[in-house]
Structure 1
């Protein structure tokens, strides 16, 4: 390769380039803006960018004596806070390209950053995940619990219990999927995830998987194999002393996730509905019971009274209630406004549901006020945080729970907030509701059926599955259990989280899938029915608070 006018040049060789601030500044201003904006993992494409800067450069020695670098890249914007991204870099000089343990021709275009000439040696700068030497260096460092001192702190490689002895020299490959992180496979046995967008805290997924692997006997997750953490020894904990760069887990052989499996089971049900038959195979109930049991076992494993502060159970405090109430009230306010603005775009059935929801505003406010004042003795723990059927892999005879990163739109701090485990339960219940509703309301087999009849049929399926899941879940704990003071509190808290989840879903459907708005609205109406029962039984509904206007659900009354 002959250097051209477009080639980035420096008199410093690759091995010594880490301290050459001029090179990194030029790289961030010339090659990287165009390259990064083509990457799936870069989240700032839609924002007005004001530039990129190389904040930190970490050195990774490679097995053959060469080096790679972990560049911590800062993206700045016209509005909002900057973001940090991890970009591993290898320089493949023309003179060594034929002696590498991989073929440069096999590096895809999305891995090629640009042409560089260093110390008169021309070559190409690539994303180092496509360099077999770099992948081996990362895995070996984890396997041997290495600590690599850097000018800015240190890189700590931690080996977890999930790595087996003798697995230190495995072949590797990059998974050919575009996502918000990068994935590599080692020996078809281990899965390494490099986090691209970085946060000034340890990643909640690493915390959770390491805790469940090292501190419990719960083995229905991909076992924790290790992590890569950038530590700042001199930084205060409040400044985010540790930043997680990557994690290794055991690979899990599976056919599909539970959303797909549930869809398969629903096919039999779907084909029977036009024949006015109601049929659920017995093995469907068995799978739902098993998932309820595994969910309960996961929460039991996370309940460790003697754990350190990050995982120790906590009471439902006034501060926590205030956090949840503000979140719920903000969601409700925005959803009411969205419904009003988009009411005429909804189909008649969704319009009726929306009307009942909005008419129940005072009842919901009374329920929220009850949550603010009601004595609660149940406890909070760290939870999965984004629990639904798509986060559960179906193996041959069991389930494996994955992806403990938490809600994608929440901050890292918010993802680590302790909740009642019923928040996870609510997520799974809502997922089952989506599964049956999406199948029945969006299939050609049911196009000619009356929507009201279809709603009744889907409700019956959902209620049976929901109760099956809940019974199996509660059986794991027994009664009483510190996480749930009693069944009354359990039912009350579950309604809080179900309402929050369904109201959150409503915003997405109004904005992106108006034909699906009836799904979260139906979930909200179900919750309001239960709220009404509680308030009536406890004498909380006053004369000036209207009851649920279920009569409006009949087409003739609107």
Structure 2
């Protein structure tokens, strides 16, 4: 607890919701230091000009008390303000013995400050540590309650993942500090309270609700419900979501690392060993990925219109220009980074970087081709940040998690529809990282020639990639509206693979220079395939040079 001077006001806690001077005093005295101590507050590094409580929502508690859900605005010298959700409850000293939990169980990070309200002394806490608040929140979702507020309405929506008879379950706050807050109920449900708020619904909630309630897709933590703040003259704002908890041993990144251990130990013996069950797991994940995308493909039918937010769309000119502009900006930044950091790279990475930079005209021609090439495949909502770490390995299957989308994209951009092949590209790149990180960063392979290690890594990766991709495409059958034909599949997959690998390049240059060869190798693989398309189409541009693979030769 950060405050030493208690606040004293005449207002009682039950009447504080409409007491603007109280919230103004709180936002100027107690809240700035408290909020800056919270892991979920993203504005610590920015120069702040102040906080203000913009909206106060009232949530009745089971014992007749209330908690408040504050919408707190953080202002800065530069940039737009940010809004955060801060639930608050008041624990009066004289009633502490009647609480269904012990005050000692409230951690220091949950204690906001001492206050005196209508001559009652007590402690303000983050309400997630108040068992009454957690019960009230979950019960409101279970009952699909509607709570009118002075500024809009709190809508509690119950999803199909919430089972009958589960209204009152024991609850606890998960100790993990992150950008959101997490609570569990009966160790069966997981409630995520979003702290940083956006002026529209959260894409994760939209996706999980659609897949559970509309498409009945079983391989995600089922949607249990949501908390949405509705207003008359603005988009709805998501405050929280409930999902079923999933028992799992590890995520698929860790599982793949385990499978790679056998492969790793065989490499120094010049043996190429992949267990058969590795292929089985990869095939299964390919099928589950395809089933997820089939579930997201919901064209409108007579008397059954699809929510426009999920209706399939064609490859419009606007979409192509959006993707091209984003990619060209990304390319320019990555070329500049490579030039500035070229001498810091190892010899193998330098050779790959040189080939990448020499292929600039070929990439530009490929982008121009994407701008004008007829494309009849369709776009839908997708996972958006799909990789091995987003897939939980259960005993015999997989569960896909975390549908928030690309972390560095805006909420609006995360809702843009893409070809499902963008997700496929993300998983393919993840497999490439898995094998490359394992082979190039293990003591077992330190003494091996880097070029030999690269060839061995490539063989594993290509086998796994093709296994995943074949299993994925088998789910759809042919033809399917999402994919016109194999030619378009190959072309679009290269678009997204190239974008993903170029994106990865920036992170590795900045933070892990020894890993730069991984995205660079991915880029070179894509450029090789671009060259094949260029030759098979018979429309090669004479002044554009072929890929300079001779630059990769060391002997």
Give the TM interval when normalised to the shorter protein. over 0.9
Unaligned runs of 5+ residues in structure 1 are none
SS at match of 1:41: coil
CA distance in 2, matches of 1:531, 1:9: 70
CA distance in 1, matches of 2:103, 2:446: 53
Q: Could you say if the C-alpha distance between residues 545 and 151 of structure 1 is closer, same or farther in structure 2, counting changes exceeding 3 Å?
A: same
Deviation at 1:555, TM superposition (A): 2.9
SS at match of 2:148: strand
Q: Which residue of 2 aligns with 1:350?
A: 349
SS at match of 1:63: coil
Deviation at 1:47, TM superposition (A): 1.1
Unaligned runs of 5+ residues in structure 2 are 301-305
1:265-291 per-residue CA deviation (whole Å, 9 max, x = no partner) reads 001111111111110000000000000
Q: Which residue of 2 aligns with 1:293?
A: 287
Q: Could you say if the C-alpha distance between residues 551 and 36 of structure 1 is closer, same or farther in structure 2, counting changes exceeding 3 Å?
A: same
Question: Are 1:256 and 2:250 matched, yes or no?
Answer: yes
1:48-89 per-residue CA deviation (whole Å, 9 max, x = no partner) reads 111111010100000000000000001111111111100010
CA distance in 2, matches of 1:516, 1:8: 53
Q: Which residue of 1 aligns with 2:296?
A: 302
Question: Are 1:274 and 2:273 matched, yes or no?
Answer: no
Q: Could you say if the C-alpha distance between residues 477 and 109 of structure 1 is closer, same or farther in structure 2, counting changes exceeding 3 Å?
A: same
Range with bigger deviation, 487-496 or 111-120: 111-120
CA distance in 2, matches of 1:542, 1:314: 32
Matches of residues 86-165 of structure 1 in structure 2 within 5 Å? 86-165=85-164
Q: Which residue of 2 aligns with 1:6?
A: 5
Q: Which residue of 1 aligns with 2:241?
A: 247
SS at match of 1:96: helix
Matches of residues 35-54 of structure 1 in structure 2 within 5 Å? 35-54=34-53
SS at match of 1:555: coil
Q: Pairwise CA RMSD of aligned residues?
A: 1.0
Q: Which residue of 2 aligns with 1:178?
A: 177
CA distance in 2, matches of 1:52, 1:122: 25
CA distance in 2, matches of 1:530, 1:456: 17
Q: Which residue of 2 aligns with 1:443?
A: 442
SS at match of 2:505: helix
Q: Which residue of 2 aligns with 1:483?
A: 482
Deviation at 1:542, TM superposition (A): 2.1
Range with bigger deviation, 337-346 or 115-124: 115-124
Deviation at 1:95, TM superposition (A): 0.7
Matches of residues 417-432 of structure 1 in structure 2 within 5 Å? 417-432=416-431
Deviation at 1:248, TM superposition (A): 0.4
Q: Which residue of 1 aligns with 2:303?
A: none
What TM-score comes out, normalization by structure 1 length?
0.97
1:444-487 per-residue CA deviation (whole Å, 9 max, x = no partner) reads 11111111111111111000000000000000001110000000
Matches of residues 127-526 of structure 1 in structure 2 within 5 Å? 127-232=126-231, 234-235=232-233, 239=234, 241-306=235-300, 307-526=306-525
1:127-185 per-residue CA deviation (whole Å, 9 max, x = no partner) reads 00000000000000000010001000010000000011000110000011011100000
Q: Which residue of 2 aligns with 1:555?
A: 554
Q: Which residue of 2 aligns with 1:77?
A: 76
CA distance in 2, matches of 1:46, 1:351: 35
Deviation at 1:5, TM superposition (A): 6.7
Range with bigger deviation, 365-374 or 39-48: 39-48
CA distance in 1, matches of 2:28, 2:386: 41
SS at match of 2:475: helix
CA distance in 2, matches of 1:548, 1:49: 50
Q: Which residue of 2 aligns with 1:538?
A: 537
SS at match of 2:94: coil
Matches of residues 19-34 of structure 1 in structure 2 within 5 Å? 19-34=18-33
1:471-527 per-residue CA deviation (whole Å, 9 max, x = no partner) reads 000000011100000000000000000000000000011111111100000000000
CA distance in 2, matches of 1:513, 1:440: 16
CA distance in 2, matches of 1:284, 1:32: 52
CA distance in 1, matches of 2:427, 2:541: 34
Deviation at 1:39, TM superposition (A): 1.0
CA distance in 1, matches of 2:26, 2:195: 18
SS at match of 2:469: helix
CA distance in 1, matches of 2:443, 2:23: 57
CA distance in 2, matches of 1:382, 1:5: 50
Aligned residues: 549
What TM-score comes out, normalization by structure 2 length?
0.98
